[in-house]
Structure 1
Amino acid sequence: MALFNHKRDYDIDPFTDLLFNALLTFTFLFLVALLLLNPPAKSGIIDPKAEFLITVSWPDSNPNDIDVWAQGPDNSQVWYMRTQQGLMHLDRDDRGMANDTQVIDGREIINPLNQEVLTIRGRPPGEYIVNLHYFKSEDQLEVPVTVYLAEVNPTMKVLNYTTTTLRKEGDEMTALRFTITPRGEVVNINQLQKSIIEANDQ
């Protein structure tokens, strides 16, 4: 009758064991280095490269053209004809439904979103004024417009949120005024009216 001996009937070569452990260590270090060189993409995280983000939006699929005009320190101004001045940038000019269609694989796709985005990519001290202009009306109706000001860095923080109504083509309205102090803080948020377009036309 055969008996099974559970003792290992072979010896481990210490040199082979050492080589195997060294190979495991090398592989682990190689994978760690690879991860550090190519960090995984962080989905859902947006880095807008800005200190402040001002978003102006009106109802989806609304055909009317609302424009943003902004004035910063030293009377610097941005609008659809001058999208960058100093550290102010008009990142998106939306013309209602005029530029919201594109053809993909032979099909016409419509983007219903109406939104203009203004960024301030620094903290130059002084007063900032954000005006809305009802540039062109396709249906002769009033347009509700929502404006929010957010501080982006070090974390996203909404500083002001307001909704106003532009009643007819040609209307201009101050939606937001605020001041950045020399310390980079936002103070004196208000809606005191001031025309930017009228002064620009003179």
Structure 2
Amino acid sequence: MAWQDGKVANHAIAIPLIDGVLIRPGETFSFWRLVGRPTAARGFVEGMELSGGRARGGVGGGLCQIGNLLHWIALHSPLQVTQRAPHSFDPFPDQGRVIPYGTGAALFYNYIDLWLFNPTEQVLQMRLWMDDRLIHGELRGEQPEPNRYHVFERNAGFEQRGGDWLRHNEIWREIREKGQAGRLLARERLYGNRVRVMYDPTAEAS
């Protein structure tokens, strides 16, 4: 719980540094360019980090949750993800998961970043805020978005290799025009995931 409380404190510092940022045509959004180095001198505290195959405490820990949200927003928009690193292992079993595994974005200052490029001809604005339970986000544009986006997984499952369990799936996206016809514009495979899990999925299922 100390790490959880620390994560919330770190979110309270980082979110105002991102909220309201404008991404102009041809510009790239960078998480670390906006947030900067998460140090104790700036008020960041110890939260949970995932590194080296285990969960550990680290100053600024928990900021990946913001990265996950920003990446999920980008996948449902015309923004192009030009730099993003997946998480290298799955530490916890699913509990109330509502989005596919493998759609997160790892962050580690200063060499694991999230970059979002604006290929459109309009200015886009990222909004982030938090309440007592959740962090929220939205992407605003000067013009209504003409398309809708659906992100889903295929070929998901677990497999055992020796004494290890691996989790695998594929992340896909469909882009359709809005309206009753909903003409399909694109169907694309975004990512393939295969990572080691730190729990026994058969025990969780039982």
Q: Which structure has the bigger radius of gyration?
A: 1
TM-score (norm 2): 0.22
Q: Which has the higher helix share?
A: 2
